[in-house]
Amino acid sequence: MGDATETFYGVIRRQGITRRSFLKFCSFTAASLGLGASSIAHALETKPRVPVIWLHGLECTCCSESFIRSAHPLIKDALLSMISLDYDHMIMAAAGHQAEAILEETRARYKGGYVLAVEGNPPLNEGGMFCIDGGKPFVEKLTSMAEESMAIVAWGTCASWGCVQAAKPNPTRAVPIDKLITNRPFIKVPGGPPIAEVMSGLVTFITTFGKLPKLDHQGRPSMFYSERIHDKCYRRSHFDAGQFVEEWDDTNARKGYCLYKLGCKGPTTYNACSALRWNGGVSFPIQSGHGCLGCSEDGFWDKGSFYDRLTTIKQFGIEQNADEIGMAAAGVVGLAVAAHAAVTAAKRLRHRPDRPAHKGKPS
Amino acid sequence: MRNRAQKFLAAADAALAGRSIRGGTAHIYALVRLWHWANAAAILVLSLTGYLIGTGTPAIWGMASGGFLFGYIRFAHFSAGYVLSAGFLLRIYWALMGNAHAMQIFCVPLWRRCFWRELHHEIRRYSFLAVEPERGLGHNRLAQLAMFFMFTQTITFMVVTGFALYGQGAGTDSWQYKVFGWVFSLWPNSQDFHTWHHLGLWVIVMFALVHIYAVLWDDVVSRRSFPSIK
Amino acid sequence: MAVQTPNGFNLDRSGKRIVIDPLTRIEGHLRIEANLDSDNVIRNAVSSGTIWRGIEVILRGRDPRDAWAFTERICGVCTGTHALTSVRAVENALGITIPENANSIRNIMQLCLLVHDHLVHFYHLHSLDWVDVVSALKDDPKSTSTLAQSISPWPLSSPGYFKDLQIRLGKFFGSGQLGPFKNGYWGHPAYKLPPEANLIAVAHYLEALDFQKEIVKTQAIYGGKNPHPNWLVGGVPCAINIDGIGAVGAIGMERLNIISSIIDRSIEFVEQVYLPDIAAIFSYYKDWLHGGGLSSKSVMSYGDIPEKANDCSGESFKLPRGVILDGNLKEILPIDHGDPEQIQEFVAHSWYKYPGHCCGLLPWDGITEPSFELGPKLKGSKTAIKELDEGGKYSWIKAPRWRGRAVEVGPLARYIIGYAQGKAEFKEPAERLLKGLNLPVTALFSTLGRTAARALECQWAAHQMRHFQDKLVINIKAGNTATADISRWRPETWRKEAKGYGFTEAPRGALGHWITIKDAKIDNYQCVVPTTWNGSPRDSSGNIGAFEASLIGTPMADPQRPLEILRTIHSFDPCLACSTHVMSHEGQEMASIRVR
């Protein structure tokens, strides 16, 4: 392919990086991967771009929208030079059978060599026909494309955990992708949606380093999901000092105090928002005065109101938080104790206290 | 029976006062008392700080850098948690190494006929249908059951979830997370653990209520429990 | 064989049937089928929404203050507009008023969405229906530069700039890996642009891709992130602190400056890139005036962007409010969202069932029970559909009607109503554009008109952002910094039972949410969404919706490559996750796929 091919090398040369620094970058990369520098350089100079098939199930397209917000790399560079996004309903030129032909071609031509990116998830109720794609259940397309893929990237909370359509009572029986596909390398990139630079960072990690990133025990890339929002929140000092916003738009809110008491889920949410921030780093939810919803966490829709500190417990068939349940239970116990004490006192008044309290012999 | 109880408690008191009677046994009972009161103190601190951590404190004034109120509250919670956990570990050690009574709160012999008979008797006694206490030493069967389900189990749950949640703050590479982080594969969203850990607080409050009342009641009714000697 | 629908379209399903599924470059999943006559003119069209998520049933029993977050996830493309509609519905039900600053900030966020969404829609979802990317390679960069400089002062227009781009595109296409441009209809006879115009459009496709991420920073600053910013019942979550302690954490000078700069750049981009491109591209397509459909007959707009907080009157709204029926531009009919006679939804041809089956229901009383059954003339099977039978049920979209009439909604509807109301801000730019193209006003009733109205509205919205940003600053200057009213935040302050509605003009058209609250929980929640109006199937009396109507009579150059259908459907900017999010009764036992 030679000169005609748009490669990673071509892009960085155009961005003003010399061949010398390119080779330096390659030797650094090679050292960290334990490979020869020249082989990496060669690979980046000549390797065809990784084909990516991006499927949409039950979703809201926020992941695609977030992806195109990427500031570094610019998404135009990613599309023209880093990956080959051969199939994605949202931006692809082809439609109908011309679009479907691409899937067949990719399966045949890049067997085991394409990345399957999935946005949204399949519903299983109604024979899968709550999401019809090409006249057939979406789940069929998903499983057939998964079979021959190199790896699967589950974009967003829909594909990773189920998200809003899987919130109770989950009328369509939407399931996360890893419930259906268990035999392929699988990366979860949760978030409603994930941060743009997390998405593009993951893609470029794979194309740059030629391997899948290290994952945590929940299958998320450790580089982005190993710390909580809370751990790197710029309002953390207010948390430690015990300075909380009590009500919306109060003096404390204007001073930027901690949103803990208004239900911020930063302490339980693993994501990079507080470190990378959103939209080129201008803000993130807490910076703009609203607590974290916990949108990259499993089942965050079903933990009670987003504005409650103590989340609702539904297991007892009633909706109460831990304090309400606990106080009620402790109250019942307290009453029982009091009643028992009263009965004891009454009994003791009737019997003389100095009389032996038992009929049996002392041991 | 009462004599025996008095005897060993006197020994325990003596041990606490630094005098040794009949060698090792007294030391051990003294240690059990020490464990008990260390637990009581730790649980008191854990409950109060835990409640505040769950609810948040009223905001304090001044610059964030000048205050560390919530930090201290959390520090007290974690320190008391360590005290409780260390004591609990020692208690487990003693359960394995000590006599049969040492095992009582860890193992309920549900498979034994005599257990059920004795339990039935204790229930009758607490329902004012019988007056005679069943056994002399250690916890009675009802107490044993309460200790096992409300104390031992709850404390185990609280220690495990507590360390797992602590591990979140300490980082996924901390030993706490490595040892206890597995719990998050049960419920991936740790918000659930915060909720259930908080509910555990209330189970312990209930336990404390029952526990203190039962001790006093037993003392008044049968004059056989520990405070009566003091 | 031809039948006439009550709303005046002749349908004939006897000719050759073509199917487009998936119809791409939209949000969600859409299927279009059409019958062509012997001259390859479309004589029958079928629009089928092919997803259903059930978000409204999920909402039942939840805290009304949380509803915005759920409904926001109906759609990530028109992100935030459902959330705004939802907080308005809850505020309407509970009698909550919002401060003036909150109104300005909400307007800025909604206008930001209009600007962003219209721009992305034109360049990334729609332009490839007009622009032949491959043809751009054949061009001489010098003549491209000359053309570009003749239509706009936009600085990125040198011959060198276009040359570099052409080289880059050459390498890209030379690699054989065409990515998103793979299998496009390149070389199709319906493409009319000369190579230099194609190259300009491709350059701007890429520039718009770079620039769109800047516009949404407005939402990120006021709402914390985009897509899916945060909202608040009773106001907005971001507090204002201009020069007090901790001001750097709140909306202060630096934040206001970023937004101001984004607004300036947006106005510049829209006026120097988007609008000149529209004018230039359409000068080559002014003979292609198909796709008008319902727009010349019945259009509707709820109105939006209130100048005054909490004032939902037509005078306060900057976007027009009203309905036009039967092409009678002289009479603008008033809308009442609470009137059970006006907005109703029908399910005769949708995969749902009502107890009575034929009647329409007001959204407050709306019920939906999924009922996936197909008509007798279906080709294929239930899980491998080859051709739908539009005589039976054929879509997950319901059929909403205004007083029983199908209407078109969206930017074109807003411009037609604004034009009919004689509002200068809508009338003059439209007339100027048409005059420049040497077209009569009736040319607006077309695919081209829909796309042009969107571009004009984008410019209008960018300027309105400036208006509300200035208004916000003036209000802060006057010492008013409130952004939320919390007097009815706590459920204890609510009525035991309440019902309300909220509405907006989303980028795609009229959007309404209806809520009933009981014991501080959501009792019923219904959304009627722009694409539900436009993409609706037939109703029980046989009226066809806007998508279907717009395709009738369009000639196709090559039925195997249905570029013309894509062009017209895309001009509506369909959003299928929105239209088919709707609701079900819980506890339905349905056939189910087993998880391995």
In chain B, which among 108-167 make CB contacts under 8 A with chain A?
126, 128, 131-133, 136
User: Which residue in this structure is represented by tokens 């960085």?
Assistant: A12
Q: Which of A114-118, A260-264, B136-140, C140-144 has the weakest average pLDDT? A: B136-140
Q: Identify residue A358 by its one-letter amino acid code.
A: H
Taking the CA of residue C412 and the nearest CA in chain A, the distance in Å comes to 23
Question: Which pLDDT value is given to residue C36?
Answer: 96
Confidence grade of residue A8 (pLDDT, cut at 50, 70, 90): low
* Residues on chain B touching A360 (C-beta within 8 angstroms): 132
pLDDT of A79 strictly over 60: yes
Mean pLDDT of C356-369: 70
Output B8-13 pairs: Cβ under 8 A, ≥24 positions apart: B8/B137, B9/B226, B9/B229, B10/B229, B13/B229, B13/B230
Cβ–Cβ < 8 Å for C552, C562:
no
- pLDDT tens digit sequence for C533-555: 999 999 989 999 999 999 999 99
Cβ–Cβ < 8 Å for C501, C92:
yes
pLDDT of C595 strictly over 50: no
Query: What contacts C486, CB < 8 A, 6 or more positions away?
Result: A247, A248, A249, C234
Q: Is A13 on the interface with C (CB under 8 A)?
A: no
Q: What are phi and psi of C36, to 5 degrees?
A: -110, 150
User: Which residue in this structure is represented by tokens 């959304």?
Assistant: C527
Task: Give the residue ranges of DSSP H helices in C270-421.
Answer: 275-283, 411-420
CATH code at position B198: 1.20.950.20
Number of H helices, E strands in chain C: 17, 18
Q: Is B206 on the interface with A (CB under 8 A)?
A: yes
Taking the CA of residue A298 and the nearest CA in chain B, the distance in Å comes to 5
CB atoms within 10 A of CB A347: 12
Short-list C570, C391, C233, CA closest to A290? C233
pLDDT of C366 strictly over 90: no
Q: Which of A82-96, B24-38, B151-165, C112-126 has the weakest average pLDDT? A: B24-38
For chains A and C, what is the number of CB pairs under 8 angstroms? 365
Taking the CA of residue B58 and the nearest CA in chain A, the distance in Å comes to 7
d(CA A27, CA A8): 15
Which three-class secondary structure state does DSSP give residue A244?
A: strand
Taking the CA of residue B86 and the nearest CA in chain A, the distance in Å comes to 26
Confidence grade of residue A354 (pLDDT, cut at 50, 70, 90): low
d(CA B139, CA B102): 10
Helix axes C100-120, C195-215, angle to 10 degrees: 150
C-alpha to C-alpha distances, A126 to A24, A137, C59, C155, C353, nearest whole angstrom: 56, 10, 21, 55, 15
Q: Identify residue C429 by its one-letter amino acid code.
A: P
Check C239 against A254: CB less than 8 A apart.
yes
Which three-class secondary structure state does DSSP give residue C209?
A: helix
CB atoms within 10 A of CB A259: 26
Q: Identify residue C583 by its one-letter amino acid code.
A: M
CB burial of B78-90 (b: ≥16 within 10 Å; e: otherwise) equals bebbebbbebbee
Structure tokens at A28: 């650094």
Mean pLDDT of C414-430: 96
Check B60 against A228: CB less than 8 A apart.
no
d(CA B62, CA A240): 13
Give chain C's domains with CATH numbers.
Answer: 97-179+187-287+451-486 (1.10.645.10)
Mean pLDDT of C130-150: 92
- Partner-chain residue, chosen from B2, B126, B209, that has the shortest CB–CB distance to A330: B209
C-alpha to C-alpha distances, C526 to A138, C37, C56, C345, C474, nearest whole angstrom: 26, 40, 6, 11, 38
Cβ–Cβ < 8 Å for C413, C572:
no
Check B54 against A239: CB less than 8 A apart.
no
Domain coverage including residue B178:
2-229
Question: Which pLDDT value is given to residue C113?
Answer: 97
Which three-class secondary structure state does DSSP give residue C16?
A: strand
In chain A, which among 231-290 make CB contacts under 8 A with chain C?
234-235, 247-249, 253-257, 273, 278-280, 282-290
Identify the residue with better confidence: C16 or A39. C16
Q: Is C383 on the interface with A (CB under 8 A)?
A: yes
Angle at C347 between CA C341 and CA C349, to 5 degrees: 135
User: Which residue in this structure is represented by tokens 């041990």?
Assistant: B15
* Residue A274 host element (H or E): helix A273-276
Taking the CA of residue C151 and the nearest CA in chain A, the distance in Å comes to 25
Check B56 against A261: CB less than 8 A apart.
yes
**Total domains in the fold of chain B:** 1
- Partner-chain residue, chosen from A222, A242, A347, that has the shortest CB–CB distance to B128: A347
* Residues on chain C touching A131 (C-beta within 8 angstroms): 29, 50-52
Q: Give me the sheet containing A115-119, strands edge to edge.
A: A83-88, A50-56, A115-119, A151-155, A186-189
Identify the residue with better confidence: B100 or C441. C441
In chain C, which among 142-161 make CB contacts under 8 A with chain A?
none
3-state DSSP of C127-170 = HHHCCCCHHHHHCCHHHHHHHHHHHCCCCCCCHHHHHHHHHHHH
Check B57 against A334: CB less than 8 A apart.
no
What mean pLDDT, rounded, does chain A reach?
86
Q: Is A73 on the interface with C (CB under 8 A)?
A: no
d(CA A321, CA C94): 24
What's the DSSP call for residue C298? -
Give just the sign of the alpha carbon dihedral A106, A111, A112, A113: negative
Residues of A at the annotated binding site for [4Fe-4S] cluster? 60, 63, 158, 230, 233, 258, 264
Q: Identify residue C450 by its one-letter amino acid code.
A: R
* Residue C463 host element (H or E): helix C447-477
- pLDDT tens digit sequence for C12-66: 999 999 999 999 999 989 999 999 999 999 999 999 998 888 888 899 999 999 9
d(CA B153, CA A303): 25
Query: What contacts C391, CB < 8 A, 6 or more positions away?
Result: C375, C376, C377
Check A240 against B206: CB less than 8 A apart.
no
Taking the CA of residue A181 and the nearest CA in chain B, the distance in Å comes to 19
Chain A's closest residue to C583, CA to CA, is A171
Interface test with B, best of A216, A246, A262, A358 (most B CBs within 10 A): A358
Confidence grade of residue C490 (pLDDT, cut at 50, 70, 90): very high
DSSP sequence for C397-432: S-EEEETTB--B-SHHHHHHHHHHTT-HHHHHHHHH
Mean pLDDT of C290-308: 96
In this complex, the chains that touch C, judged by 3 or more CB pairs closer than 8 A, are A
Largest CA distance in chain A: 108
Residues of A at the annotated binding site for [3Fe-4S] cluster? 273, 292, 295
Check A265 against B65: CB less than 8 A apart.
no
d(CA C139, CA C141): 6
Question: Which pLDDT value is given to residue B96?
Answer: 86
Check C246 against A51: CB less than 8 A apart.
no
What number does CATH give the domain A49-225?
Answer: 3.40.50.700
Check C372 against A129: CB less than 8 A apart.
yes
Q: Is B24 on the interface with A (CB under 8 A)?
A: no
C-alpha to C-alpha distances, C477 to A251, C263, C307, C491, nearest whole angstrom: 18, 20, 18, 34
Short-list C290, C288, C293, CA closest to C550? C293
- pLDDT tens digit sequence for A303-317: 889 999 887 776 665
User: Which residue in this structure is represented by tokens 């589950």?
Assistant: A154
User: For chain B, what's the residue count?
Assistant: 230
d(CA A188, CA A219): 6
d(CA C143, CA C145): 5
Confidence grade of residue A14 (pLDDT, cut at 50, 70, 90): low
* Residue C569 host element (H or E): helix C563-570
Q: Is C265 on the interface with A (CB under 8 A)?
A: no
Question: Which pLDDT value is given to residue B24?
Answer: 56
* Residues on chain A touching C593 (C-beta within 8 angstroms): 124, 127-128, 137, 139
- pLDDT tens digit sequence for A265-306: 999 999 999 999 999 999 999 999 999 999 999 999 998 899
Which residue ranges of chain B lie beneath pLDDT 50? 1-6, 8-23, 227-230
d(CA B212, CA B230): 16
Q: Is C475 on the interface with A (CB under 8 A)?
A: no
Residue A120, sorted as left (phi over 0), alpha (psi -120 to 50) or beta, turns out to be left
Q: What is the ipTM of this complex?
A: 0.94
d(CA C308, CA C325): 29
Q: What are phi and psi of A188, to 5 degrees?
A: -95, 130
d(CA A165, CA B142): 48
Question: Which pLDDT value is given to residue A363?
Answer: 33
Chain B's closest residue to A353, CA to CA, is B221
Q: Is A133 on the interface with C (CB under 8 A)?
A: yes
Determine whether C435 is exposed, middle or buried from the number of CB atoms within 10 Å of its CB (0-12, 13-18, 19+).
exposed
What's the DSSP call for residue C98? -
Q: Is A318 on the interface with C (CB under 8 A)?
A: no
Mean pLDDT of C193-220: 96
Q: Which of A108-117, A336-345, B191-200 has the weakest average pLDDT? A: A336-345
Tell me chain C's radius of gyration from C-alpha atoms.
24
For chains A and B, what is the number of CB pairs under 8 angstroms? 163
- pLDDT tens digit sequence for A231-249: 999 999 999 999 999 999 9
